[in-house]
């Protein structure tokens, strides 16, 4: 079942920039999906439309079947939250605990319930030991985790994340994606994220939409979307590195790979099989 559905969505900014030029997509209950596109392809604009921040768009956005333009902020933000690319735009309280507590306090919960919600949310993002720490002293990645905790403490069932791995080091990127996957699998949070990072997507996402010039140009599972390097470069993207390697071995060196694996694990299996078959087509 669809939780968010966009139909023929377009948006032009006041200065005339056509940032989103025709997007139809759906986010299904419980999935981990996302939009992939180069810088300036319209991802942030799209997320702001989906979250009800930009309202003067054309086309329609439905949240659980209801027209988002007819929903109050309270109705939208009771279910769905957005994590901006830069956590400094989102965090404002002096300490981690106070920041994460802001939402539940605003929702009118009593003190015991607030403490319970904050602790649970901080545990979910592995930040419980930082509760008393000043926000200022956190690393960029830790700040991103606190932003996510702030949404979880309000009980959001749907998270929109704008470039959640941007600005993190390689291990931090992986840990962030692993955290999101756990929230999705274990806490049943529906996730839709924007990214331009092709290497992490096939490992984690169920489904993605490729955005170019504000339009969806392809969609499906990572296997369906990542095709030939030339097609990816037409939308200013590339294949995941491991896929690029196997693609070249197959097409330029004529090694008999059946399919193009997208992850290290899949590549390892394909290579082992190839050895066992002795490179026969
Ligand atoms: N507030 C704005 N006013 C005018 N143009 C904007 C504004 N925000 C973004 N844009 C333009 O809209 C296009 C899409 O931007 P954006 O949605 O931020 O893309 P992405 O997140 O994929 O990098 C870009 O050409 C950008 O310059
Ligand atoms: Mg952006």
Domains of the chain: 1-72+157-238 (3.40.50.300), 80-156 (no CATH), 240-281 (no CATH)
Yes or no: say if 57 and 253 are a contact pair by the CB < 8 Å rule: no
Among 229, 248, 247, 249, CA closest to 239: 229
Q: Is the CB of 43 under 6 A from ligand 1?
A: yes
Cα 11 to ligand 1 centre (Å): 10
Alpha helices, H only, 125-196:
140-152, 170-186
Q: Whose CA is nearest to atom 8 of ligand 1?
A: 45
Q: How far apart are CA 260 and CA 84, in angstroms?
A: 33
Residue of 15, 18, 42 best suited for mutating to test ligand 1, as the one with most atoms within 8 Å of CB: 42
Q: What is the pLDDT of residue 280?
A: 64
Cα 254 to ligand 2 centre (Å): 39
Beta pairing class for 190-195 and 207-212: unpaired
From the CA of 49, which ligand is nearest?
A: 1
Q: What is the pLDDT of residue 58?
A: 98
Cα 279 to ligand 2 centre (Å): 44
Q: Is the CB of 166 under 6 A from ligand 1?
A: no
pLDDT in tens, the chain (281 residues): 899 999 999 999 999 999 999 999 999 999 999 999 999 999 999 999 999 999 999 999 999 999 999 999 989 988 999 999 999 999 999 999 999 999 999 989 999 999 999 999 999 999 999 999 999 999 999 999 999 999 999 989 999 999 999 988 989 899 999 999 999 999 999 999 999 999 988 889 999 999 999 999 999 999 999 988 898 999 999 999 999 999 999 999 999 988 889 999 999 999 999 988 886 65
3-state SS record for 207-250: EEEEEECCEEEEEECHHHHCCCHHHHHHCCCCCCHHHHHHHHHH
Q: Whose CA is nearest to atom 14 of ligand 1?
A: 42
Q: Is the CB of 42 under 6 A from ligand 1?
A: yes
**β-bridge partners, 63:** 4, 66
Crossing angle of helices 140-152 and 96-106, in 10° steps, is: 20
Contacts with 16 (C-beta within 8 Å, 6 or more apart), sequence order: none
Residue of 11, 14, 17, 160 best suited for mutating to test ligand 1, as the one with most atoms within 8 Å of CB: 17
Q: What is the pLDDT of residue 228?
A: 87
* Burial group, residue 55, by CB count within 10 angstroms (0-12, 13-18, 19+): exposed
Q: Is the CB of 45 under 6 A from ligand 1?
A: yes
Confidence (pTM): 0.93
Task: Please tell me the total number of residues recorded for the chain in this structure.
Answer: 281
Among 244, 238, 237, CA closest to 41: 237
Q: Is the CB of 195 under 6 A from ligand 1?
A: no
Q: Which residues surround ligand 2, an ion (CB under 5 A)?
A: 43-44
- What number does the ligand 1 atom closest to the CA of 45 have? 17
């Amino acid at each position: 079942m669809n939780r968010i559905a966009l139909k023929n969505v377009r948006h032009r900014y006041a200065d005339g920039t056509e940032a989103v030029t025709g997007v139809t997509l759906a986010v299904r209950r419980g999935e981990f999906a996302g939009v992939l596109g180069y810088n300036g392809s319209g991802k942030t604009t799209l997320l702001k439309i989906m979250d009800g921040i930009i309202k003067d768009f054309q086309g329609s956005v439905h949240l659980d079947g209801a027209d988002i333009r007819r929903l109050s902020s309270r109705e939208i933000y009771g279910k769905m939250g957005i994590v901006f690319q830069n956590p400094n735009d989102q965090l404002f309280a002096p300490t981690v605990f106070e920041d994460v507590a802001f939402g539940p306090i605003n929702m009118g919960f009593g003190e015991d319930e607030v403490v319970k919600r904050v602790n649970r949310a901080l545990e979910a993002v592995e930040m419980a030991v930082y509760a008393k720490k000043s926000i200022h002293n956190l690393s960029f990645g830790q700040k991103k985790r606190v932003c996510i905790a702030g949404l979880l403490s309000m009980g959001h069932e749907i998270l929109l994340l704008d470039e959640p791995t941007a600005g993190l080091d390689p291990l931090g990127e992986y840990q962030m994606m692993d955290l999101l996957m756990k929230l999705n699998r274990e806490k049943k949070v529906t996730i839709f994220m924007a990214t331009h990072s092709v290497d992490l997507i096939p490992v984690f996402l169920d489904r993605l939409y490729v955005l170019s010039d504000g339009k969806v140009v392809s969609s499906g599972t990572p296997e369906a979307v990542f095709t030939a390097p030339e097609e990816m470069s037409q939308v200013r993207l590339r294949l995941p590195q491991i896929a690029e390697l196997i693609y070249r071995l197959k097409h330029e060196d004529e090694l008999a790979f059946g399919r193009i694996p997208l992850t290290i694990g899949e590549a390892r299996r394909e290579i082992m099989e190839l050895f066992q078959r002795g490179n026969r087509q």
